[in-house]
Every structure is written in C-alpha cells, then in structure tokens.
Structure 1
Amino acid sequence: MDSESTTSTGHVSRKTVLRAAVAAGVAAPIALMGVPALARTLTDGGTPLDLTPECDDGDDLTLPQMEGPYFKPNSPLRSAMVDGPGTRLTVSGYVFGRACRPVSGVLLDFWQADVNGAYDNAGYTFRGHQFTGTDGSFKLSTIVPGLYPGRTRHIHVKVQAPGRPILTTQLYFPNEPRNNTDTIFDPRLLMTVRDAGGAREAAFDFVIDVPQNPGPTPTATTTTAPPGGTWAAGRAYAAGARVTYGGVGYVCLQAHTSITGWEPPNVPALWRVG
C-alpha cells in the first residue's frame, strides 16, 4: 500500500486496524488503543488516530513500477540478506487482498544495490525471496541500499499470491534529496522508516489483486486444472528434483512443499526450465 494509513477524511483505514490486530494477535476489527502502536497508526505527533469500522477506505492496489535492468530469477530462499557492510535495515509488513484481509503464502522476491550502489549480476548478493506467513506478514533483514547515478534510494520487489498475477514494484525512503529528481519515484510507494539504535526499521503493506470476501480469515485462491505432467500439489520436492508440467520439463531450485498456485511456470524462484 502507499505510506498513508488514513482515508481522505482523516480516518484510519480498516486495513491499518486489521494490521494492528494481526500484530497483536486479537480479533479484528477492534479498538486497539491498548496495544503497541504501529508506525502507520500514529499521527506525526505520536497520538493514535480515531478508528473507523468502514472498509471503503481507498485501499487501492499497490502501484506497479518497472523491473529495471538488474533483476535475476532463482534468488535464494531467505529473509536475511545482510551480505556486506552498511546500515542495517529491517523491512516488515503485511500483504493484503482486495477486502483488506491478509494473504498467506505470498512470494516476495527482493533485490537491491549494495552500500556503494552496485548490483551483484554474477551472484545473488542482496537478492532473496520469502513467503508471507499464515497472518500475511513478512520481514526482510538487509542494509540501506546505496545510491547510483540517476536514481534515489530504493528496493525492488516482486509480489505474487498463489495463482495470481505478479506485482513488480519499488519501495522508497522518505526525506531523500533525490526523491525530488528521480523521474520514477512515486510517494505512494514510500515506506515508513525510523531510526533504531544505529540501525533503521521500515514498514510497508502491499495490497495485491486477490479477490476476497469479508471475513476473519484469508480466502484461498484457485487456479485452473493442471494441464498434465508429473508435478502435483502437496508433494515435498528437493532441490534438483525434476518434473514435467504442460509438456515442459522443470528442475527444482529450492526445496519446498508444493501448493496449488505454485505450478512451475508461475514461480521462477522455485523452478526453472530444464
């Protein structure tokens, strides 16, 4: 989502309430004044905003942006990619569907520059993918990326729920001088960032194109029937395992238990043609 947690009328969005509820382990919607406040639930002065039970709060889909020239498929499965020097950075948040509800099992593939503004095109330094938990949450440990000519500070990410389209976008840092000159920069993709004892902590919530009905739990997604082959949902595949799907052979890149929606053509981080 964008970095705003309020509606056009100044109310906290229902999604922000749900995010706080998930983090606190309580049912939602509910008044959450007694739980630790998240960055997006506070005004600039640190005072909790009034809550609203309405879901019609302008929760638009997260804005897509260009992939850029440095994306590489088959990144390692990991949530920590502190591969070199730099200011430590933790990025955390949730992935929501169209009904403001968290989505589990979402693939997030991150890549970024090192402290000097360079991308590793030979290996997988500062590259990695992970999946959201049952509560739709994710957490990335990395460093604050460096700058390079023509761009402001940013992190790339691809986001895909099972059986749904891929969202490719970029996350930005507030109060960066180059935000004003970077032609790609969009304030709707700003993270909420704060200092944390020599490190930095950032928060961002994605809203992706997953149809949902109102309710307390995520709605499962569906895909079309498999077109034939040896791949099957519910199986544990080891790295190097070979399957066929739709007449094409694939090699497993990361050990995992397959689920509907993660068919080999849909998840290049897990399978490659071979």
Structure 2
Amino acid sequence: MDHDNHLSRKTVLKAALAAGASVPIAMAGVPALARTARDSGGSPVFTPACDDGDDPTPAQTEGPYFKPNSPRRTSLVDASTQGTRLTVTGFVFGAACRPIANVLLDFWQADTNGAYDNSGYRLRGHQFTDAQGAFSLTTIVPGLYPGRTRHIHVKAQAPNRPVLTTQLYFPGEPRNSTDTIFDPELLMTVRANGPAREASYDFVLNVPQSPGPGDPSDPTDPPTGGAWKAGAAYRAGDRAAYGGRSYACLQAHTAQAGWEPPNAPALWRAQ
C-alpha cells in the first residue's frame, strides 16, 4: 500500500470527526473503526483496525491454560464474579476491510486474582460475530500473575478458515514494558464508564475478500455524476451537485443520509 498517496478509511474518519462532520456509527464501506459508542451515542474510539491493506491481527502464543469446548455465551460473569466489570466490543474484518459474519471467537482469561479456572469454565466462553461482523463480550479486568501483564486470550476463526490465536492488552499497564511477548498492535482502546471499563478492538483476519460497492478497487462501480444522492457509490475525483454548489469527492464511499457534502468535508471539497 502507498502510505504517502493513499487516503485510508481510518484517515477519512479521523478527519471527519476532527472537522465536526456528522459520521454515522455504521459507516458503510469505511469499517476501520471500533464502535465503542454504538449504544451510548458518544464519539467512536479508534483502535488497531483494518486499513486498506494493513497486516492482519498478529498471532500470539496460546499459553498453557486453553480448554476446548467452552460454553457459548457473550457474558463470562455472574452476580458472584469479583472484579472490575469490562465490556469489550468490536468487529472482525477480512483482507478487503469488509466485515465477516459467523466468526468463532473463543475467549479465556485469569480472574481478578490472576488465576485461571482449569477445572471448569469460569471466565471462559465462545460466541459468533453477527451479520455485521460485530461482537460484544462482558467480562472483568483480568488480574496479574508473575511474568505477565494484563491480557485476554482469544481464538478467532472465520468459517472454513484457519484459527488465529492471539491476546489482547490494556494500555497504560506498567508491566507492558517488561512482558516479553507484549505487542502494542494488540492494545485495546479502554475507557472508564463509572466503576466499570469499556474496551474496543477490531480484528483483521487473513481471509480473502472481493471488494464491495464503493471500494476504490471495485472496477464494476462506474463513476457517478449529477446531483448528490444517498445510496450512490462515489469514487475519488467524482463530482456531485448539492445545494447549488459543485463538490469533488475526496475518498471513495457509499453516500448516506448525514453525509451530504457540506456536512462531510473529509469526503467532499467545494469547487
């Protein structure tokens, strides 16, 4: 990927947010964003994410405490579980930055005291991404044990594809600098929500995909012109009229209500 001349989806979203433009949470064709605020209505938070050709999420060791056949559930806690409550949300994307449905995500972790349940399935469970490639996990902030920083284990497997085994980390942890396998590319974005914590991470799997409508590499989507129209697929360089003015498209995207050219300076430039 030409990092000097290519406007990534993540760059466009950052620019739109900085400019105060209206950016819907579910941005079709621009998925490089962890939607930590899809329920709260707050501003999205960026994490290591799919960025038009970036490397897939790095693999890490399984460790000694994985157990197969975990129960299917999105919450690993109950009323008796001790520790700071943590919600982890995100999406799973493939090689073309498009979400993948029905990805198996198997999570396991230490309890608040740094111990793993090796006789049962406490703080262990698996789930599948929904039709939009999204997942949500309710758990606790894991405790520390000798030699490691705080982390959550996960196995991710798209349908009929190899398994990615990796770990997720917490920013600002003192032991991040001494943990021999810590990888900053696996840092979650974490914020406080009262006494609880909310985290986000988007996985990128090495799964071949065809580009979708509006992607710059999609040769079947012809340039459009005339008046701006929601639902139209625009390419960089296309022109559209809105409110009596002409605008040039800066980044390929599929138009949505709220992204009218005056409201989306990261996508359109007035001529």
- Give TM-score scaled by structure 2 length: 0.65
Give me the whole-angstrom Cα distance separating, in 2, the residues matched to 1:22 and 1:78: 31
Which residue is 1:149 aligned to? 146
Counterpart of 1:27, as a letter, is A
Match 2:46 to one of 40, 48, 52? 40
* Equivalent runs, 1:1-274 vs 2, <5 Å: 13-14=8-9, 24-25=25-26, 27-29=28-30, 36-40=42-46, 57-83=52-78, 84-216=81-213
Give, in whole Å, the separation in 1 of the partners of 2:23 and 2:134: 9
Distance in 2 (CA, whole Å) between partners of 1:40 and 1:73 is 32
Structure 1 residue identity aligned to 2:46: R
CA contact (8 A) 2:110 2:142 kept: yes
Partner of 2:29, secondary structure, is coil
How many aligned residue pairs are there?
194
Identity %, equivalent residues: 69
Rounded to whole Å, the distance in 1 between the matches of 2:11 and 2:98 is: 10
* CA contact 2:53–2:96 (8 Å) conserved in 1: no
Distance apart, 1:127 and its partner CA: 0.1
Kindly name which structure, 1 or 2, has the bigger radius of gyration based on alpha carbons.
2
Residues of 2 paired with 1:130 and 1:105: CA distance?
A: 9
CA distances 1:214-269 after superposition (whole Å, capped 9, x unpaired): 1159xxxxxxxxxxxxxxxxxxxxxxxxxxxxxxxxxxxxxxxxxxxxxxxxxxxx
CA shift, 1:187, in A, is 0.5
For structure 2, the 5+ residue unaligned runs are 34-40, 215-271
> Over residues 107-144 of structure 1, what are the superposed CA-to-partner deviations in whole Å (9 max), with x where a residue is unaligned?
00000000000000000000000000000000000000
Taking the aligned partners of 2:64 and 2:118, their CA distance within structure 1 comes to 10
Residues 1:87 and 1:23: Cα distance change in structure 2 (over 3 Å): farther
| Cα deviation, residue 15, structure 1 | 6.0
Name the CA shift for 1:57/1:25 in 2 (closer, same or farther; >3 Å).
Answer: closer
Cα contact 1:92–1:203 (8 A) shared by 2: yes
Change (3 A) 1:213 1:58: closer
- On the 8 A contact 1:113/1:119 being kept in 2, the answer is yes
Question: What letter matches 1:129 in structure 2?
Answer: H
Indicate the SS of the match to 1:178: helix
Contact 2:53 / 2:95 at 8 angstroms: preserved in 1? no
Contact 1:113 1:120 in 2 (8 A): yes
Q: 1:199 to 1:161 in 2, by over 3 A?
A: same
For 1:80 and 1:174, how far apart are their aligned partners in 2? 23
1:16 is displaced (CA, Å) by 8.0
Q: Are the equivalent residues in 2 in contact too, given 1:159–1:166 (CA < 8 A)?
A: yes
TM-aligned CA distance change 1:147 to 1:12, over 3 Å: farther
8 Å CA contact retained: 2:157, 2:163? yes
Deviations 1:16-58 (A, max 9, x none): 879x99973453349x9xx8531118xxxxxxxxxxxxx9744
SS of the residue aligned with 1:95?
A: strand
State the SS of the aligned residue for 2:46. helix
TM-fit CA distance, 1:209: 1.3
1:60 positional shift: 1.1
Partner amino acid, structure 1, of 2:211: P
Q: Is the 8 A contact 1:93 1:203 kept in 2?
A: yes
Identify which range, 99-108 or 207-216, moves more after superposition: 207-216
Q: Against the structure 1 CA distance between its residues 117 and 123, is the aligned structure 2 distance closer, same or farther, given a 3 Å change threshold? A: same
CA RMSD, aligned part only?
Answer: 3.1
